[in-house]
Each structure stands twice: as C-alpha cells, then as structure tokens.
Amino acid sequence: MRDKKPAILLLEDGRLFRGWSFGAEGETGGEVCFNTGMTGYQEILTDPSYCGQIVTMTSPHIGNYGVNREDVESAHIQVAGFVVREETEVPSNHRSTQSLGDYLRETKIVGIQGIDTRALTRHIRDRGAMNGIISTEEADTNSLTEKLKKVPSMNGLDLVPRVTCDNSWKWDKNEFDIEPKFKVACIDYGVKWNILRLLTSHGCDVNVFPATTTAESLLDWNPDGIFLSNGPGDPAAAEYAVEMVKTVLGKKPIFGICLGHQILSLALGAKTYKLKFGHRGINHPVKNLETGTVEITSQNHGFAVDIDSLPNNVISTHLNLNDNTSEGIQCKDIPAFSVQYHPESSPGPHDSRYLFQQFMEMMEEFSQ
C-alpha cells in the first residue's frame, strides 16, 4: 500500500473537493466531465476525444481488472486528469499487466481519489460542465484560482491539432485475414483505433490522413469512401475541416462518427451548440427513427448538432431518448451519413455495429 498524499480538485465556480493523490503527483487543468460507464476505463483514458478534459468516473470502484497492452484506443493516455471514488490497488484479471494507479504514474497523469464523486457529478449536472484543476502540490485556493483562470474554455477551442497525425499512414493491423475490397480514407480528428479495426474487419484498406489534408490530395488517392473520425473540442472551431468536407461532398461516400458527425453537419449548413454537461457513458438509449428500434449506445461528446438547423436535403435518422438531441443524419441527395454516438464502442455495447455494413453498401452502390 502506498502512502497517500493529499490532493485538491477546485472547480471554476469555487466548489472544492479534497481527496488523495491518484496516479502521478503534480497539477493539471481542464474541463471536468463525468462518464457513467462501469467498465472501459482504459479505453476512456486513451480516447483522443477526451483531450483537454478531466474525467470523473461515477462508478465507485475503478481499476478492478487492471490495465493491459491491448485495450487502448490510441498510442498514449489522452485525458488531462482522472477522478475516481476509490482506486483498486490490487487488480484481478488474467490479462492485467499492472494496476491502474501504476499506469497513471508511469504516464505522468495526475488524478485524485477519495472524493464524493456522486456530489461532483450532481454538481456538474446542475451547474453544467466547467473547468477545474487538480493539485497535489498547492493548497492555497487563491493561487489555484489564478492558475485555473488560464485554462481555456472548451467553447471555441480547436483541439484537433493536438491529436491528429502529422503525416498520412496506413493501418496495417489486419487481424481478420480479410481481403480488402474498398479503399477508405480516414480523416484523423483523433481517431479511435477500434474504428480502424472495424473498418478493416469489413474489408477496407484504410489510410489515415491528417485533419489538415486538402480535398485535392485526398481525392488524388482516389478512395472508395471517406470516413470522418471522432475527436475533441468545439467542432465549429475546426473551420479548415468543415471547408474540406464541403469540397468533397457528393464526390465520394462519407461516413462520420462523433466529431465527424458534427463536421459533416456543419459542412451541410447546420449549426452546433454546447451541451450543458454532455453525454459520456456506455448506456445511452438512442432511437433509430427509420426502424423504430432503440439502441443502447456508447457516447462521448460535449457538443451537439442543432436538429432545427438541418437543411431540407438532410434527414434526422437517430434521436437521443434522454434529451431528444441529434444522434444521426443522412443526406437525401448525396451518399453521406453520420452518427453522434460510437458504434465502434469498445468494450461495448455493440447494438450499432450495422452502421459499418451500411457504409460498405453505400460504397458498393456508388461504385456501380
């Protein structure tokens, strides 16, 4: 058992939580949000969509099954900080290679445990998402308040440059021994690796392109389809991404997820707005408006598409049953569709994996 060092979480509205150091010691700031999933903490930590955020887990015990080398969504941890009620210091799972706390210490991620995460979650739900700072080094709240003022607001913040690749590269981890049928260009706004795995499992040869890729260079590669990935930050701030998508609309089939959904919507003429506290978890009900079925989905977003702003040539395909926000769109006149939630979700649920097959069928039809 390690000696626990006191730690503080200070929110920008002055709410203070005192606990104990978890992971690395130091200070970190970012937007404080919460995730309602009971599992999947390693995938959450490595999801580029969480860049710039301090993630709170609502489940009281985190780290039960440890950490392994396979269950990652990117090359390194992406969150700004991590908040849990209680860390499991001795994990129990045959795949585990180390504890969650050791993993955070090794990667220099600052966290806090021992606080009332229920109270923190209710505070965010009531007051809305807000910036916060975790510190194991500073007890003076006045000093921390001044540091917190320097943490940028998520509104108007383009975080894609922090997570996109520098150069194009080929996803060559074909674990499924499937002969590729389609060439897919993935625009990397912060792509999760499980998306690339699923595209490959459906017979796609995937090349990943930086978010700043021009339409000309993208079309020169002559893909059968274009995938717009998930990612962090305010979609309206990524104007270069929106302009590129405008240029390729109708020229190739397009499928977008999460930030990709928002960027496609903006390119089509819709608007986006910031949610009060966002949707983050693995148990969000979404209604498929075409079939009437309800899918349990994995979600991670703080912004949403304004359904009322959709142009006449775009239909709403999926709706969040918790707050009636946009969860999917499809164009009537060009081959393009997108969803706000995560059908590639790992560890789950898998209700919406059919969307990848829908993309394959769209590319097949477009090629004829």
Domain assignment present for residue 153? The answer is no
| Spatial CA neighbour of 303 closest among 15, 31, 80 | 31
Return the CATH number at 138: 3.50.30.20
Global pTM exceeds 0.95: yes
- In angstroms, the CA 22 to CA 332 distance is 50
Are 301 and 180 contained in the same domain?
yes
Domain end call among 121, 148, 175? 148
Alpha-helical segments (H) within 128-192: 141-148, 160-163
Are 183 and 282 contained in the same domain?
yes
Domain end call among 93, 127, 148? 148
2 to 60, 81, 200: CA distances (angstroms): 20, 20, 43
Q: Are 336 and 328 in contact (CB under 8 A)?
A: no
Are 229 and 82 contained in the same domain?
no
Q: Which residues of the chain have pLDDT under 70?
A: 1-2
Domain assignment present for residue 282? The answer is yes
Residues with catalytic annotation? Answer: 258, 342, 344
**What is the extent of the structural domain holding 199?**
160-367
With the C-alpha atoms ordered 358, 360, 366, 368, is the resulting torsion angle positive or negative? negative
Are 89 and 225 contained in the same domain?
no
Are 296 and 248 contained in the same domain?
yes
Domain assignment present for residue 192? The answer is yes
Are 27 and 136 contained in the same domain?
yes
Are 274 and 295 contained in the same domain?
yes
| Spatial CA neighbour of 279 closest among 308, 319, 332, 227 | 319
Return the CATH number at 299: 3.40.50.880
Q: What is the pLDDT of residue 348?
A: 85
Domain assignment present for residue 154? The answer is no
Strand-pair category, 182-188 with 6-11: unpaired
Are 73 and 173 contained in the same domain?
no
Q: What is the pLDDT of residue 157?
A: 98
Phi and psi at 134, nearest 5°, equal: -105, 135
Strand-pair category, 53-57 with 81-84: parallel
Are 182 and 67 contained in the same domain?
no
Q: What is the pLDDT of residue 2?
A: 61
Packing angle of the helix pair 239-248, 259-267 (nearest 10 deg)? 60
In this structure, how many other beta carbons lie within 10 angstroms of the beta carbon of residue 16? 11
Domain assignment present for residue 91? The answer is yes
Q: Are 100 and 62 in contact (CB under 8 A)?
A: yes
Domain assignment present for residue 182? The answer is yes
- In angstroms, the CA 163 to CA 353 distance is 25
Are 258 and 235 contained in the same domain?
yes
Are 99 and 182 contained in the same domain?
no
Domain end call among 99, 117, 148? 148
What confidence tens digit (pLDDT) does each residue in 275-323 have? Answer: 999 999 999 999 999 999 999 999 999 999 999 999 999 999 999 999 9
Half-sphere exposure of residue 235, counting CA atoms within 13 Å on the CB side?
32
Domain assignment present for residue 71? The answer is yes
Q: How many structural domains is the chain composed of?
A: 2
Are 19 and 69 contained in the same domain?
yes
Domain assignment present for residue 118? The answer is yes
